[in-house]
Every structure is written in structure tokens, then in C-alpha cells.
Structure 1
Amino acid sequence: MDASLPLLKGKKGIVVGIANENSIAYGCAKEIHNTGAELLLGYGTEKSEPYIQPLLADLGNPDLVLCDVTDDEQLENLFQHAKDKWGKIDFLVHCIAFCPKDDLFGRVTDCSREGFKIAMDISCYSFIRMAHLAEPLMTDGGTLLTMTYYGSEKVVPNYNIMGPVKAALESSVRYLASDLGSKGIRVHALSPGPIKTRAASGIDHFEALLNASAEHTPIQQQVTIEDVGDVAVGMISDSAKSLTGHIAYVDSGYHILG
């Protein structure tokens, strides 16, 4: 590998879930762009567009496509846009999660059937569906990334129903990695520590979780969206071509503690 070239020079791909300058999707898109890749961005609601437009210049002015992941037509349009633009893609970064507030704030025991279905559909199934749509465009192999959290494997106060949902997402990563490995498509989840994003602000007592995480991690610092983006770059790069099916913790070491 030529060390003088940007790590992702020549790669092209999709980042979905960008909402504003504090979103993990933006942190990933920024670092991926800075290391030479071309981007296509997907966003979930028209309300987000005024917050996203000012960010585009720093990302190389990528195309921006509305993509509500509960709408099959919009999902298919996003990948068709990528096909029309490039003919193929090398990576997909999925930064999407949602749960209705009544179910997110309540006990797992009390979660409604509808709330559970919505959370699973948007936070987990959308990644599976995107993997299906990305597969025929990854003609030279590629990388699929999604975002999880430590609450998938341990009980984290106030994370509630998103714990089981993220556990399902992590299991999906392993099965997708098995399904797609023969085609050179690698699948991973990144597991960031608490980051102050719009989505995280919906978690009850999130500020306390954020502060406690920074105080008690081995490195004793809060994780940033840029930190997550840096790991995303590494996973997408050819340097990680022998890795698949990983849960990569970007949490200052919090997951090693009891």
C-alpha cells in the first residue's frame, strides 16, 4: 500500500442517518471524506435538511437523498441513486436507531408490541434490508457498518428496550458477515461510548450516563463523533480486509470493566 495516498482514496459509498453536526453519521462522513472517499448521504426526515445543508461543503458537497427506512421505495431509491452515480459502492455506514418515547422510557416488561416492532424495524431490520440492497452493488467486495451500544450485552440503566433491539442488531451483524463473506463483503458493528447526539438525548438521565462513562473509563475521556469516524475509516480500509463480524468498541475501554 502506498502510504502517501489517502487511506480511502477511490472508494465510494453511502452514509445514512445524518441529522446535524452532532450526529455520529456526520462524524463518520467527515472522517471518511477526509481520507479520500466519495460520499452519498441519506437522511430520514425533511425537518433535518436545514441542519444538514450547511455541513455539505465540508464533506465534498455529496448528493443528499431523503430516505425514511420504513419506506421501501425511498430505500430502493437511495441505492438506485448510488448505482446511477457510480455503478458500484465500496461501503455503507448505517447510523439509525429509533424507539417511541413511551416505550423507550418504560420498563422492558411494559414495552408495547407496536413500540417493539417500530424499534426493531428502524434500528435493526433497516440494516438487514440495506445489506440486501448493497450486495449487488459491492461487485468488488466492500464493508457494511452499523452502530450498537454496550447496553446490548449488559443492563444499562434507562437504556431499556433498546438493549434487546441492539442485541438483535449485533446478532444480525454476525449472520450477515457469514452470508456475505464469500463475496468479499465484510460486516461490523461499532459500539461507541455515550455521545451527546440528538438520538441520545431521548434516553432518560443521559447526562448522568455521559458523565459517569467519562469518569470511569480506563482512558478517562469522553468519546467523540470523530473518534467513531476514525474507527469507521479503519474498518472500511483495505488494512482491515481480513476482519469481519466484529463488534468494535469505541468507548475509551468502558466495556472491559465489570
Structure 2
Amino acid sequence: MFSLKGQKALVVGVANETSIAYGCAQALRAQGADLAITYLNAKAEPYVRPLAQALGAELIAPLDVGMPDQIEALFAQITQQWGRLDTLVHSIAFCPKEDLHGRVTDCSRSGLAQAMDISVGSFIELVRRAEPLMEGGGTCMTVSFYGAEKVVRDYNIMGPVKSALESATRYMAAELGPKAIRVHALSPGPLKTRAASGIAHFDEMMEAASARAPTHQLATIEDCGAFAAFLASREAANLTGGLHYIDGGFNITG
């Protein structure tokens, strides 16, 4: 129904073939977008580069968002190679394990600061860098989780962190709307990704979500990708600031 042919899309957060970011990259490419895909570091590159190459990514670059020089280099390369950007997908989060597995009450200030910087601050930074490249408008997306809204067992400090991410999404959507730049947050149900594996009792969380959701099905990275591709399209040009649940209706149940 829609085409992304000719669009230039940056996808940040691909770790392997189960990543939400990879599902988004697949869908964007399937609809015709040209891709730039990043990998975290040299250890991650052997897992990410073959996936990016299989999708025909025109730009494959390292990006540790905790290193400002890498952000600078990435956007310099995008500017030189493309001269513009239409879509940004941000699907990264981090929290030190000792803080992630403990109570919010016990979270260290340093752990909270790092989780906020990597999970939220990096999205704000990437959107700021993307803004001048989106002269004709564009779409910026990040990934949240239901634990931002309600208390979810074992999600712990990432709940408040994702709440901040959702709030930042709304504020940036309001600020950038006059420039036709849309900002969204996708909120999939539990997905068995590498990042999710760090959450305690995650298998139990997935089973409970599947049982409670009206469809009795977990979301997939393909579901996330399909929605992301739609949001990147011209057909979604008047949508912004949304928190989009992709969870089989889990969020509507008590």
C-alpha cells in the first residue's frame, strides 16, 4: 500500500537476527528504503555486518553512543554520502547488571545516570543530529516497553528510564512537528531479544504476556518492523508523538 523507495534510513541497535532493530531494518528495506546500519563495537561487528550486507545497506559503521566522536563520524558520513536523512530508528538501551537486577530503591546514582544516558540521552542526541538532515521532514522512532507505564516484575529501574524516554518522545514531537519531523515510540510486548535476556525471569514474563494478551500471541520483530515502516511512510505524515503498542492487546487487559 505504501512505498519507501528513495528514503534514507538510519537503524541503530542491530545486535543479531533477533533484534527489534533488525526487524525494522528488514521492513524498511522491503519497502524500498536505503539503509545505514550501525554496530556497537568490534565484538559485535561479525554478527551485524553480514546482516547489514544481506540487506544491501549502503553504510555500515560503528556506533557506541557513549562515544561522542563516533556519533560525529557517523553523521559526517551520512551527510557526505546521502546529504539527507528521512528515517531514524533508535533501538538501544543499557543498564549495569547490578542495578538492573536490584530494586529501584537500591539503584545507584551512577547506574541510573548511565541507563538514562544510553537509553534516553542517546535518542535525544541522535534526533538532534538528524534534524538538520530532515529538511523535508522525516520520522524518528525509539523502542519502549509497558513497564514504563505500569510496574512489571523484574523490569526494575528500566521502568522509570523508559518513562523518561516516552516523555522525551512527546516533547520532541511537539518541538519538531512544525518541521514535519515526526517522533514516535514503539512499545512491543516481551520479545526474546539479546537485550531482554538480561532481565530476570524473562521467560516467565513472556509466558504471562502470551496468556493475558487477547490474541494469545507475543509480538515479533516482524510486527515491529511492519509498524515502523508504516510510520516512516508518507501515509503516516500526520501522526506524531505516539506510543504505539505492538503487543496483541496485552496493554488493554487488567
Give the TM interval when normalised to the shorter protein: over 0.9
Q: Superposed, which structure 2 residues align to 1:1-258 within 5 Å?
A: 7-258=3-254
TM-score normalized by the length of structure 1: 0.96
Contact 1:146 1:188 in 2 (8 A): yes
Change (3 A) 1:219 1:130: same
Contact 1:94 1:145 in 2 (8 A): yes
RMSD: 0.9
Shift of 1:13: 1.5
Distance in 1 between residues matched to 2:49 and 2:126, nearest whole Å: 24
Shift of 1:116: 0.2
Distance in 1 between residues matched to 2:127 and 2:53, nearest whole Å: 28
Amino acid at match of 2:237: K
Size of the alignment, in residue pairs?
254
Distance in 1 between residues matched to 2:93 and 2:77, nearest whole Å: 23
Shift of 1:61: 3.7
Distance in 2 between residues matched to 1:127 and 1:54, nearest whole Å: 25
Change (3 A) 1:181 1:126: same
Change (3 A) 1:117 1:221: same
Contact 1:90 1:141 in 2 (8 A): yes
TM-score normalized by the length of structure 2: 0.98
1:26-50: per-residue Cα shift (whole Å, max 9, x none)? 1100111011000001222221111
Unaligned stretches of 5+ residues in structure 1: none
Shift of 1:62: 3.1
1:122-173: per-residue Cα shift (whole Å, max 9, x none)? 0000000011100000011000000000000000000000000000000000
Query: Secondary structure of 1:14's match?
Result: strand
Shift of 1:244: 0.4
Distance in 1 between residues matched to 2:39 and 2:247, nearest whole Å: 25
Contact 1:17 1:42 in 2 (8 A): yes
Contact 1:30 1:58 in 2 (8 A): no
Amino acid at match of 1:91: T
1:99-121: per-residue Cα shift (whole Å, max 9, x none)? 00000000000000110000000
Unaligned stretches of 5+ residues in structure 2: none
Distance in 2 between residues matched to 1:62 and 1:220, nearest whole Å: 38
